[in-house]
């Protein structure tokens, strides 16, 4: 988790040589200042785009669905105790 405005300032100033991001602070919007920088690589959600990563995600989904259907709280729930 980063402060995109601080990151942008550091990239512009040369304090950081470059950055690669696959998630953004205010998705689906991308900070226009980041888009304009030549020293950034922006690949939305492609960091997990491997066969192994996608298989692992699919297995987690199945475990979460089965756990929920069985009346339990899924281990990877995002909303905490809301459901």
For the record, the structure tokens of 50 come out as 């491997």
d(CA 2, CA 15): 15
Residue ranges of the domains in the chain?
4-42, 51-82
Per-residue pLDDT of the chain (83 residues; tens, 9 = 90+): 789 999 999 999 999 999 999 888 888 888 899 999 999 999 887 777 889 988 999 999 999 999 999 999 888 877 756 55
Q: Is the pTM of this model over 0.85?
A: no
């Amino acid at each position: 988790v980063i402060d995109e405005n601080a990151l942008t300032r550091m990239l512009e100033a040369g304090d950081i040589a470059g950055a690669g991001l696959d998630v953004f602070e205010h998705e689906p919007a991308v900070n226009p200042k980041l888009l304009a920088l030549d020293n950034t690589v922006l690949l939305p959600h492609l960091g997990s785009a491997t066969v192994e990563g996608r298989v692992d995600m699919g297995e987690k989904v199945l475990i979460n669905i089965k756990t929920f259907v069985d009346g339990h709280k899924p281990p990877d729930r995002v909303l905490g105790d809301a459901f």
